[in-house]
Structure 1
Amino acid sequence: MDDSARQRRWPAYTMAVLFLGYAAGKAVLAVQHRLGFPGGPPVSAAETARYARDFMAPATAQWLATASGVVGACLALATVTRLGRRVPRTLMLPVLAGMFLAVASGAGIMMLDGFVGIGVGWRWYHGLLGLVVIGLQAAMIRSYLRATRRRVGSSPGALGPAALVAVLPALGSIVDDRGRATGQTRSGASVNVASFHCPPRCARRTCSSVGGTT
Structure 2
Amino acid sequence: MTVDVVDACVGLLRRTVFRPARPAPAGLVVRLAVGLATAGMLVYAGQKVYMAVRGEIGMPGSPAPDSVQAQFTDAAFAQAVNASLGVVAALVASATVMRWGSRIPRWMLLCALALAFVMQSLGAAITVRRAGLGPAHLGGGAVLDVLWGGSQLAAWLVLTVSYFARTRRTGIRPTNGSAPAATSRVRPAAAYGAFACSLAYGAMKLDWAWGGEFLMRQTPLPRAAGEDLLRHASGAVVQHWASVALALVGMAAALHLSGRFRPHGKVRRGALLMGAWAGCALMVLRAVGALGYGFVNDLRVLTDPALVPPAFADLARSHALWDLVLWSPYWLLFGVCWGVAALRYRRRAAAGGNSAAVEARYPQEASSGTA
TM-score class, shorter: 0.5 to 0.7
Q: Which whole-Å CA distance do the structure 1 matches of 2:113 and 2:173 have between them?
A: 25
**Gap change, CA 1:161 and 1:31, over 3 Å in 2:** closer
CA contact (8 A) 2:56 2:63 kept: no
Deviation at 1:154, TM superposition (A): 7.9
**Gap change, CA 1:25 and 1:139, over 3 Å in 2:** same
CA contact (8 A) 1:34 1:48 kept: no
Aligned to 2:70: 50
Q: Which whole-Å CA distance do the structure 2 matches of 1:141 and 1:154 have between them?
A: 28
Q: Which whole-Å CA distance do the structure 2 matches of 1:139 and 1:12 have between them?
A: 8
Residues 1:68 and 2:85 are matched in the alignment: yes
Deviation at 1:104, TM superposition (A): 0.6
After the TM superposition, which residues 40-189 of structure 1 pair with which residues of structure 2 at under 5 Å, given as runs? 40-44=61-65, 46-47=66-67, 49-52=69-72, 56-116=73-133, 123-153=142-172, 159-160=180-181
Q: Which whole-Å CA distance do the structure 2 matches of 1:13 and 1:123 have between them?
A: 24
The DSSP-based 3-state class of the residue aligned with 1:26 is helix
Deviations 1:153-173 (A, max 9, x none): 189x7735989xxx9x968xx
Aligned to 1:26: 48
Give the % identical residues. 28
1:41 counterpart letter in structure 2: S
Deviation at 1:137, TM superposition (A): 0.6
Q: Please list every run of 5 or more consecutive structure 2 residues that lacks an aligned counterpart in the other structure.
A: 1-21, 184-354, 356-364
Residues 1:12 and 2:31 are matched in the alignment: no
Count of residues in Structure 1 that have an aligned counterpart in Structure 2: 160
CA contact (8 A) 1:2 1:150 kept: no
The DSSP-based 3-state class of the residue aligned with 1:153 is strand
CA contact (8 A) 1:79 1:144 kept: yes
Deviation at 1:5, TM superposition (A): 5.5
Q: Which whole-Å CA distance do the structure 2 matches of 1:34 and 1:138 have between them?
A: 31
Q: Which whole-Å CA distance do the structure 2 matches of 1:37 and 1:130 have between them?
A: 14
Dislocated runs of 4+, deviation >6 Å: none
Q: Which whole-Å CA distance do the structure 2 matches of 1:79 and 1:154 have between them?
A: 27
The DSSP-based 3-state class of the residue aligned with 1:4 is coil
Aligned to 1:36: 58
Normalising by the residue count of structure 2, what TM-score does the alignment of the two structures yield?
0.38
1:142 counterpart letter in structure 2: V
1:76 counterpart letter in structure 2: A
CA contact (8 A) 2:173 2:182 kept: no
Deviation at 1:114, TM superposition (A): 2.8
Normalising by the residue count of structure 1, what TM-score does the alignment of the two structures yield?
0.63
The DSSP-based 3-state class of the residue aligned with 1:9 is helix
